[in-house]
Structure 1
């Protein structure tokens, strides 16, 4: 089992997290295991909840491959999609295309939803690059990856000026 998991792309046979695999890599590895005849023992695979991942393009919608029953995806109440990542960054005098170019120059692999295809450390480094280029993040500083566990290598020895980089924090209960 361990060698099959490693052969399918799992970085570690014991756990998966965003520091070692992207969501897309995780989905691709799960599908590889299923293709190799393994049965998924948990409730449902990543593609069930994230059908828009590139790895999930050919997976039948509503099929869980796990212990949860299959379902009709048309009956699901879909949550509204999150705004694209580029909408969270701004800088006076920079238009949307300029934001997208800056994100690409800072290492973002996509300007839409980087969490699906980038490792957390790479996203943190890209966020810091955007801040270094004087872009303002539309959420409070505590939404930046460097302000959250796990401690990522890109964040070491970096001081983030929360008053200048990001939107002000909101009081408890504010939206």
Structure 2
């Protein structure tokens, strides 16, 4: 009876684990530019300082991520989901060296940082 209960608990936990939250999209899937393929986006990310891993921000500092995101914007890319924001849009990153010019431009436009 105990073996049966343990076996049943194992099966339940395994099934519950399979229905968890889906993985986040890969970094190159979050950026788009008209006329650019997924491979083109991937190469642009590499040129902007992202790395070759599944999540191309692995091992990068917040400042390096911000630099890469700003590079992508400068090169005409945008976030695929309009609700997505880049690192510099958040108040907690306002002191990053990479964000200083971006934040000045937001202030001139009257845009607020996100919490």
If the TM-score is normalised by the length of the shorter chain, which range does it land in? 0.5 to 0.7
Point out the structure with max Rg over C-alpha.
2
Compared CA separation, residues 111 and 100, structure 1 to 2 (3 A): farther
Q: TM-score, normalised by structure 2?
A: 0.65
Residues 123-142 of structure 1: CA deviation (Å, up to 9, x unaligned) = 00000000000011123476
Pick from 8, 27, 42 the counterpart of residue 100 of structure 1.
Answer: 42
Give the structure 1 partner of residue 26 of structure 2.
84
Where structure 1 has 5 or more consecutive residues not aligned to the other structure, the ranges are 1-71, 161-175
Residue equivalent to 1:117: 59
Aligned ranges 1:140-159 → 2 under 5 Å: 140=82, 143-148=85-90, 149-151=92-94, 152-158=96-102, 159=105
> Pairwise CA RMSD of aligned residues?
2.3
Q: Distance in 2 between matches of 1:111 and 1:133?
A: 22
Q: Structure 1 stretches (4+) deviating beyond 6 angstroms?
A: none
Between the aligned partners of 1:139 and 1:120, the Cα distance in structure 2 is 21
Contact 1:85/1:114 (8 A) holds in 2: yes
Q: How does 1:46-57 map to 2 (within 5 A)?
A: none
Number of aligned residue pairs: give it.
89
1:135 match? 77
Shift of 1:111: 5.9
